[in-house]
């Protein structure tokens, strides 16, 4: 077995002579993993995904599906992939079941009829599968889209913003069946601009901004505060005084934020009582010391803020 379900190397899309809307993106999806591609609107997620599935040409770079080069073994790679990009198109006047049947007939390989029942059950569409698609809600269409994408048992599933327009219940259900598929060995690449969602759905997240992958981290690393870099909030009588004292003290401390009555510091755990003593001994009252959980959102904003600062060197080269 190849090392990765999907490997993307230096993927680039140039528009015109200058503009790189995807700029040397590299990442991998491990077998059975759900990798999130997270980025704000216009980051280049859809363009990246369209190049991976072959809907648009790459300018530069390589894509390997289960170790196979899409440029050399395109047909085999297509068999290995299932994708939903933008809204899947259906025959509205036909039932969900008939749509799947139609899709099965058009598939390049033989798909047993029993597979239709199987996927319908997985996406929980049994109750409505005989109804016409025009009567479906957005969430139901989306489930039918997933059913269609996995009908030929792809080992790699690629979903572009699959939760768009879904209600919280729909999002939870999508998450549940993506996890079931992952447990059965399906690897997934899923894009989103919503951080909270990625946090619950993915094993790792690749953050994209201005066409570049600026960070890839396991969700656990993004959720954990980590021993070596505690983020701690001090509620004090005077933030100005506290900052001056902390800056004068020869400690490795990063002052992340200040609010009306509190300052947020990033420092080693052993520095917390030292800061406390420093403040109290210099007549700054301390009302509270709290650990701040850095969420993926903080991390994302931090990273994309850096990205924005470097904007000039980003998209255009």
Ligand X SMILES: Nc1ncnc2c1ncn2[C@@H]1O[C@H](COP(=O)(O)OP(=O)(O)OP(=O)(O)O)[C@@H](O)[C@H]1O
Binding residues for ligand X (CB under 6 A): 15, 21, 39, 41-47, 193
Applying the rule CB under 5 A, the residues between 226 and 265 that interact with Mg ion are: none
Q: How far apart are CA 220 and CA 206, in angstroms?
A: 13
**Residue 48 or residue 155: which is nearer to ligand X going by CB?**
48
152 contact, one of ligand X, Mg ion, none, CB 5-8 Å limit per kind = none
At its nearest, how many Å lie between ligand X and the CB of residue 49? 8
Task: Quickly count: other Cβ atoms within 10 Å of residue 240's Cβ.
Answer: 11
Of 58 and 193, which CB lies nearer to Mg ion in the complex structure? 193
Least distance from C-beta 49 to Mg ion, angstroms?
8
Residues 6+ apart with CB under 8 A from 207: 38, 39, 213, 214, 215, 216, 300, 303, 304
Give me the least distance between CB of 40 and ligand X, in Å please: 7
Of the two residues 45 and 58, which places its CB atom closer to Mg ion in the complex?
45
Taking the C-alpha atoms of residue 75 and residue 6, their distance in angstroms, rounded to an integer, is: 15
CA-closest candidate to residue 109, choices 151, 171, 142, 167: 151
98 exposed, middle or buried (CB, 10 Å; 0-12, 13-18, 19+)?
middle
Q: Is 46 in the site for Mg ion (CB under 5 A)?
A: yes
Nearest residue (CB) to Mg ion, 7 versus 161: 161
Q: Which does 18 bind (CB under 5 to 8 A by kind): Mg ion, ligand X, none?
A: none
Is residue 3 within 8 A of residue 29, CB to CB? The reply is: no
Cβ of residue 211: shortest distance to ligand X, in angstroms?
7
Rounded least distance, CB 15 to ligand X, Å: 4
**Which residues contact residue 45 at a Cβ distance below 8 angstroms, ignoring those fewer than 6 apart?**
37, 39, 160, 161, 191, 193, 208
Which residues of the chain form contacts with Mg ion (CB under 5 A)? Answer: 45-46
């Amino acid at each position: 077995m190849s090392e990765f379900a999907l490997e993307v190397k230096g993927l680039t899309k140039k528009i015109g002579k200058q503009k790189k809307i995807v700029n040397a993106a590299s990442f991998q999806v491990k077998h059975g993993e759900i990798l999130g591609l997270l980025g704000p609107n216009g980051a280049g997620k859809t363009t990246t995904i369209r190049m991976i599935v072959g809907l648009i040409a790459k300018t530069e770079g390589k894509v390997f599906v289960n170790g196979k080069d899409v440029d050399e073994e395109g047909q085999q790679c297509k068999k290995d992939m299932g994708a939903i990009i933008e809204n899947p198109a259906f025959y509205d006047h036909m039932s969900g079941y008939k749509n799947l049947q139609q899709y099965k007939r058009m598939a390049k390989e033989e798909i047993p009829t029993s597979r239709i029942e199987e996927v319908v059950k997985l996406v929980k569409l049994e109750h409505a599968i005989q109804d016409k698609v025009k009567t479906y809600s957005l969430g139901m269409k989306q489930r039918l889209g997933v059913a269609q994408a996995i009908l030929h048992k792809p080992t790699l599933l690629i979903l572009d913003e699959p939760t768009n327009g879904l209600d919280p219940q729909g999002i939870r259900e999508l998450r549940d069946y993506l996890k079931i598929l992952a447990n059965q060995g399906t690897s997934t690449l899923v894009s989103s601009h919503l951080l909270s969602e990625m946090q619950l759905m993915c094993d790792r997240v690749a953050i994209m901004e201005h066409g570049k992958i600026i960070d890839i981290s396991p969700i656990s690393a993004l959720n954990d505060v980590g021993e070596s870099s505690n983020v701690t909030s001090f509620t004090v009588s005077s933030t100005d005084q506290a900052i001056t004292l902390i800056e004068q003290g020869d400690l490795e401390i990063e002052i992340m934020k200040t609010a009306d009555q509190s300052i947020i510091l990033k420092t080693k755990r052993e520095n917390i009582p030292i800061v406390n003593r420093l403040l109290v001994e210099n007549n700054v009252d301390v009302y509270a010391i709290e650990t701040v959980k850095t969420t993926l959102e903080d991390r994302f904003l931090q990273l994309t803020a850096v990205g924005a600062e470097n904007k000039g060197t980003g998209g255009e080269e």
